[in-house]
Amino acid sequence: MARRPLSAGLTGGVGLARGREFARSAAYHAADVLHPLISVARGLGVLARGGLRRLTGMPADRRAPALLLACSCTVIVALVPYGPAVTAIAVMVAAGWAGRERAAGDAELDGEENERLQLLYESLVPYLSMPEDPDPLYAHGGDPEEAFLTHAFEDGRLVSLQLRYPAYFADGEAVARARVEQLLQIKAGRGREYRFDWDEEANRLTLTVLPALPTDILAQRFVTTPGETVLGFTDACSVQRTLPVVDDEGIRDEPPVVWRTGRRSTEPHLLALGRPSGGTTTLLRSIVLQALGHGDVLLIDGGGAGGYTCFPGREGVLALECSPAGALASLEWACHETERRLTAANHARQQGRPLPEDIRRPLWIVVDRPTALSHLATGEGRPDPQELLEVPLRHGRAANVTVAVADHLEHAHLLGEAVLAHTHARVILGPATPEQVRTALGAPPHTTPTPDVPPGRGYARLGSGPVHRVQVPATPDPLDEEAAEAERQAVLKLLPRATGPLYGGGVEAAPAPDAPVPYDAGTTSARDPDGTGASGAAGPVEGFGRHLGGGEPLPVQAT
């Protein structure tokens, strides 16, 4: 027997379907109408949770002043005309922005970021927790939001992070710090440079990804006073001063690392170390170009690479020595000159007269690779040239004599005790490990050195100050045809006017390599320290067939 269909009253029929559709449509319309209120409510919750998290993360001794400040601001806003209304509108706008719905891509990205933060949190558990802690801040399966105060991602990679750590963590020990920094560097991604700021008072660590320092700054006249030398440029957060620099696009401001010399300087002498092709010679060239604007320079090129061939014959360049005999003669003259300046300054002060003009004019002694000269001098049975640097280094500050020394990092142990003891301004350029940076500068860097750096990139420390990242301005040898033409022309514009024959193409020809040349060819000869004016004849120095300078020999004393 066939079944009879149920009646329309029992099934609901068309009316029930229409009721469901109407309810669904009403819910959609209500959600559209109430969407702003929902977003504002969600945003208020986000702001409240963020404020509560910041308040709980604040040290206990700072919570009461913070609450008092908030109450004072509330009273002030209430007394200002239209203050409550403007404040309410601002809070609603901020809440609407914080509670906005994000796209599906942003939600997926947030999921990846949360996963990265959770992995980073889990990896910190062995370093920032103890089994005896009843309520550990870092525990397996814990919440990263309690430990990580702020964070930021860019293109899926972590660019900044501020975290809390327990009070029992030994943040005063360099080894404990290094372990945490190394872990954060690995988890945040290799190939970038990170800065770590430890706040021991609040038990917080801030990680920041540093942008690359500009490498397009050419040699130019910087806006400095006499006695100030720009070693390079650093991060804006490291110094409180900027200098205008000129580039292809115009003028912009960059934060410099300024080295102050003279009688009032606390670090009158400089030592630069680095790998081969790391930029130490470029740094010395930049220093010489700035020093020639208001002083005299004595150049000693121990490596004999010819990186200073543009200076002989220029105004203010006293000599360029490349051989042990010439370096010894010039450094002995520098010792006598330092003593003469001290004596003249003492007599002037005793008689109540101002210092003579030649005493006030700075004298710069720039030595590149003195360890190579010491090796050659020992082989020839001559005294060590580094021993003659002791008098200018010890008494240079009072005599207005500045010494700048550069050498290879692997030869730092061959430097004399006087050089290491009196050079309080330190620079290290090129690839280096944190231990090498600590040894060279006397303090560890606040950033993580990268294995691949451009020439002239490194760290600088002036006296007992902080360690700065530094990028030396591009200052190549203008006679180097492999250098960029714009960089070569920038250096040529800064060279003083010529007072004698110059070395290089388009200038006066130099003697032939097989022709007899004066004493110590390849250098601008210095008169013997006994003041007799006699100079022994010698053949051309190997590898230097041309006469680099055409100036007069250095006098022993200028009295």
Residues 36-53, mean pLDDT to the nearest whole number: 78
Instruction: With CA atoms as reference, report the closest residue to 91 among 143, 154, 46, 28.
Output: 46
Other beta carbons within 10 Å of 506: 5
Instruction: List, for residues 422-468, the tens digit of each pLDDT value.
Output: 999 999 999 988 889 999 999 988 888 777 888 999 999 999 999 99
Rounded-to-integer distance, Cα 68 and Cα 61, Å: 12
* CA neighbours closer than 13 Å in the CB half-sphere of residue 420: 12
Predicted confidence (pLDDT) at residue 537 exceeds the cutoff of 70: no
Question: What does R_g of the chain's alpha carbons equal in angstroms?
Answer: 34
111 vs 513 pLDDT, higher one: 111
Strands 296-301 and 363-368: parallel
Instruction: List, for residues 353-403, the tens digit of each pLDDT value.
Output: 998 988 999 999 999 999 999 999 999 999 999 999 999 999 999 999 999
Residues 286-307, mean pLDDT to the nearest whole number: 92
What does the angle CA 222 – CA 228 – CA 231 come to, to the nearest 5 degrees?
70
Predicted confidence (pLDDT) at residue 35 exceeds the cutoff of 60: yes
Residues 305-325, mean pLDDT to the nearest whole number: 91
Lowest mean pLDDT among 35-49, 71-85, 327-341: 35-49
Rounded-to-integer distance, Cα 198 and Cα 214, Å: 26
Instruction: List, for residues 251-279, the tens digit of each pLDDT value.
Output: 999 999 999 998 889 999 999 999 988 99
Instruction: List, for residues 224-256, the tens digit of each pLDDT value.
Output: 999 999 999 999 888 989 999 998 888 999 999
Note the pLDDT of residue 453.
87
